[in-house]
Amino acid sequence: MRVLTELDRDRIAELLARDEFFWLDLQSPSSEALQHVKDMLNLHPVAVEALAEPHQRPRLDPYENYVVLVFYGVGGDERADLDPIEVRMVISGSYIVTVHGEPCEHLDRLRDHFERGVQGGEAFVVYKVLDALADSFFPALAAVDEEIDEVEDAIVSHADERQLQRIFELKRELVGLRRIATPQRDLLARTIDEINELPGFEDDTRNYFRAVYDHMIRVSDLIDSYRDLLTSALDVYLSTVSNRLNSVMERLTIVATIFLPLSVLTGFFGMNFGWMVRHISSFADFAIFGIGGIVLFVVVLLAIFWRAGYLGNRAAPG
C-alpha cells in the first residue's frame, strides 16, 4: 500500500494501472489540484465540490464505485486542542483520498505507521484512517476529565468566578463536540454496509467499521457524561456560593441585632426631655446607666447567640 502526500500524476496513474491500493493525503489543496484529482480518478463534479467545501456536517454520499465521506477528528491530545478537524475523503476499492484544511497529527502518525512497512488490505487501511480520527477524541476528552476534577477541587477549596467561567467554557466546547460526535455515530450506524459493499472490499470487513462505530458510541457517551459532570459542578458552585452568602448574612444579622437595642437605648436617652435624664448628672451615673446598659445588652445577646449555635462551631439545638 502506497502513501502519497503530494499530487504526483505519473505515480497515481501507475498505481491505478497496476490496480495497487494507495492513500492520497492532501492538506489545503488548490482548486486546480482537486480538478486534477477529479480527472485522474474520474470523479463526479459534485463529489469534487464536496471535497472542496469546508464546514460540512458528517455525511456519506454514495456513487457508483466510490463514496464521499465527511468525517471529523479533533486537533490534538490536550484540552486546548479540542477544535474539530474536518476530513473529507473519497473511498473506493482502489484508493482512499483524504482532504483536510489544517494539519492533523493523528493522520501524520498513521502515515508514518504505513510508511514503515505495515501492510493491510483496502478495508484495513480505510478502517485505520477512520479509527485514527475517531480515537483522536479520547485523549482530548481525558484532558477534559482532568480539568473537570481540577475545577471541582477549586470550587470546594475556594469558589470564585474563574471556576464559573471555566465551567461554561468547557460546556460550550463539549456542546460543539456533541454536534459532531452524535451525527457521526449515527452516520456510521446507517452507512457501514454502503462502505462494505464497495468493489474490492471483502465481506468480512464489516467488523472493522463496527469497531469504529463502537468507538464513536463511547465518544458520544463520554461527552454526555462530562456534560452531566459539569452540570453537577455548576450546582456545587452555586451551593457553595449560596452557603457562603448565608454565612455572611448570618454574621451581618448578628451585628445588626446587637446594634439594634443599642440604637434604641442611646436614642431613648438622647431625647430632649429634661424629666427623663435630670437624675443622670455624674460620670458614675453615665457609666452605670449608659455604658453599663450597653454592655449588658451586648453580653445578653452574645449569650443568646452562643446558646443558639450562631457563634463558633456549636450546632444549634434541635
Average the pLDDT over 288-306 and give the result.
77
Regarding pTM above 0.85, the answer is no
For residue 248, being part of any structural domain is answered with no
Answer whether residue 207 shows pLDDT above 90: no
Tell me: do 58 and 124 sit in the same domain: yes
Q: How many domains does the chain have?
A: 2
Tell me: do 68 and 135 sit in the same domain: yes
Tell me: do 157 and 289 sit in the same domain: no
Tell me: do 98 and 231 sit in the same domain: yes
Amino acid at 206: R
Average the pLDDT over 296-314 and give the result.
74
Answer whether residue 314 shows pLDDT above 80: no
C-alpha distance from residue 112 to each of 2, 4, 11, 115, 225 (Å): 11, 11, 19, 5, 34
Tell me: do 276 and 233 sit in the same domain: no
Domain limits for position 229 = 2-240
In this prediction, residue 265 carries a pLDDT of: 67
Strand order in the sheet with 2-4: 2-4, 22-27, 95-100, 84-92, 66-74, 59-62
**Please, what's the b/e burial string for 160-195 (b: 16 or more CB within 10 A of its CB; e: otherwise)?**
eeebbebbeebbebbeebbebbbbbbebbeebbeeb
**Please, what's the b/e burial string for 61-87 (b: 16 or more CB within 10 A of its CB; e: otherwise)?**
beeeebbbbbbbbbbbeebeebebbbb
> What is the rounded distance in angstroms from the CA atom of residue 190 to the CA atom of residue 235?
38
| Grid cell locating 161 | 468566578
Tell me: do 79 and 225 sit in the same domain: yes
Answer whether residue 216 shows pLDDT above 90: yes
Q: Count H helices and E strands in the chain, helices first.
A: 11, 6
Answer whether residue 232 shows pLDDT above 90: yes
Tell me: do 148 and 224 sit in the same domain: yes
For residue 161, being part of any structural domain is answered with yes
Tell me: do 175 and 289 sit in the same domain: no
In this prediction, residue 27 carries a pLDDT of: 92
Determine which of 38-47, 106-115, 175-184, 200-209 has the lowest per-residue pLDDT on average.
Answer: 200-209
* Residue 175 C-beta-side C-alpha neighbours within 13 Å: 8
Q: Look up the CATH number of the domain holding residue 176.
A: 3.30.460.20
For residue 187, being part of any structural domain is answered with yes
Give the model confidence (pLDDT) of 92-122 as tens digits.
Answer: 989 999 999 988 888 998 988 888 776 777 8
Q: Is residue 234 within 8 Å of 167, Cβ to Cβ?
A: yes
288: DSSP letter: I
